[in-house]
Amino acid sequence: MSAHTGSHHGTQATRRSPFADAWATVQPQCTTLAGMSVPETFAAAYEMPVMLADMSFLPRIGCKGPGAAEWLATQQLRLPGKHNRWLAHRGGVIARLGMTEYFLESSAVDTWTEQFPQPQHPQVAPVLRQDASLLLCGERVHELLLQVCSYDCAALNPDDHEAVMTQMIGVSVLMIAVAHEPYPRYRLWCDPSFATYLWHHLSEIAAELGGGPVGWRQLREFGLCFSNDGVNP
């Protein structure tokens, strides 16, 4: 479960976002975070009724096996008590995806997953996580989700900490609701091979609703970044 080397502003990117081919066509201003080139601002962006942001740069790891919970507990982590649930941890996310599989993601500021050791447990196997990841938010985000998702996302209560596997435009995604104030916010993860397809379709529908892509700095300027969004203010 090797970790990526963290990077900061002005350093050279060592990783490429799965969404890069899609958002590069609109030439956002980028910076480097966690070793990945990240859209910081989009020229035409302002606070819109539907916004999508590339969060693929956030460092993440995974592990599974009958000894996974026991081993993670030795790392002083509080784990979800049920499968398909998640908890916030140091600005990031700890999700239990099945009975014995766990997914851990850092924030942009506190990249705690990068310091994780390899599991030294005979019943734990590392899981490589190279997900494409998005934040969807805005006052009209549910109108977008109704068009693309087979799950009633409006029924997701952030306080319930559910982690839902669903289909979005035919793509399997993992989704959580991270906040509903001042606007609903959802994080989602999918196989990186579907990233360009997903971005194009979501951005087209967002545009029809008066929205579009934003960079992580713009999210902060709009007051839409909270600790369990994975990007700390």
- Helix then strand then coil, in percent of the chain rounded to 5, is 25, 30, 45
Distance of CA 214 to the CA centre of its chain: 14
Question: Smallest Cα–Cα separation from 134: which of 43, 61, 63, 215?
Answer: 215
Asked if pLDDT for residue 231 goes beyond 80, the answer is no
The predicted pLDDT at position 219 comes to: 83
Poorest-pLDDT segment among 1-10, 95-104, 179-188, 201-210: 1-10
Written as one letter, the residue type at 79 is L
Q: How confident is the model at residue 21 (pLDDT cuts 50, 70, 90)?
A: very high
Q: How confident is the model at residue 181 (pLDDT cuts 50, 70, 90)?
A: confident
> Average pLDDT, stretch 186-208?
97
The predicted pLDDT at position 5 comes to: 33
Stronger pLDDT, 57 or 220, i.e. the higher one: 57
Calculated CA dihedral for residues 87, 39, 52, 230, nearest 10 degrees? 10
Contact between residue 214 and residue 51 where contact means Cβ atoms under 8 Å apart: yes
Q: How confident is the model at residue 11 (pLDDT cuts 50, 70, 90)?
A: low
Which residue has 């609903």 as its token pair? 184
Stronger pLDDT, 221 or 49, i.e. the higher one: 49
Mean of per-residue pLDDT scores for the chain: 88
The predicted pLDDT at position 10 comes to: 44
The predicted pLDDT at position 144 comes to: 98
pTM of the model: 0.89
Asked if pLDDT for residue 233 goes beyond 80, the answer is no
Contact between residue 204 and residue 219 where contact means Cβ atoms under 8 Å apart: no
The predicted pLDDT at position 232 comes to: 43
- C-alpha pair distances (Å), 21 with each of 24, 47, 88, 91, 200: 5, 24, 31, 28, 10
The predicted pLDDT at position 8 comes to: 40
Stronger pLDDT, 221 or 96, i.e. the higher one: 96
Would you call the peptide bond into 184 cis, given omega within 30 degrees of 0 as the criterion? no
The predicted pLDDT at position 171 comes to: 97
Q: How confident is the model at residue 120 (pLDDT cuts 50, 70, 90)?
A: confident
Mode of pairing for the β-strands spanning 60-64 and 101-105:
antiparallel
Q: Tokens for 135?
A: 């934040």
- Those residues whose C-beta lies under 8 Å from the C-beta of residue 121, and which sit 6 or more positions away, are 65, 67, 70, 71
| DSSP per-residue codes, 110-147 | --GGGGPPPP--TT-EEE----EEEEEESTTHHHHHHH
Question: Smallest Cα–Cα separation from 89: which of 108, 67, 73, 107?
Answer: 107
Q: Tokens for 197?
A: 């397809």
Asked if pLDDT for residue 195 goes beyond 70, the answer is yes
> Average pLDDT, stretch 108-122?
86
Which residue has 């900061």 as its token pair? 8
Q: What does R_g of the chain's alpha carbons equal in angstroms? A: 17
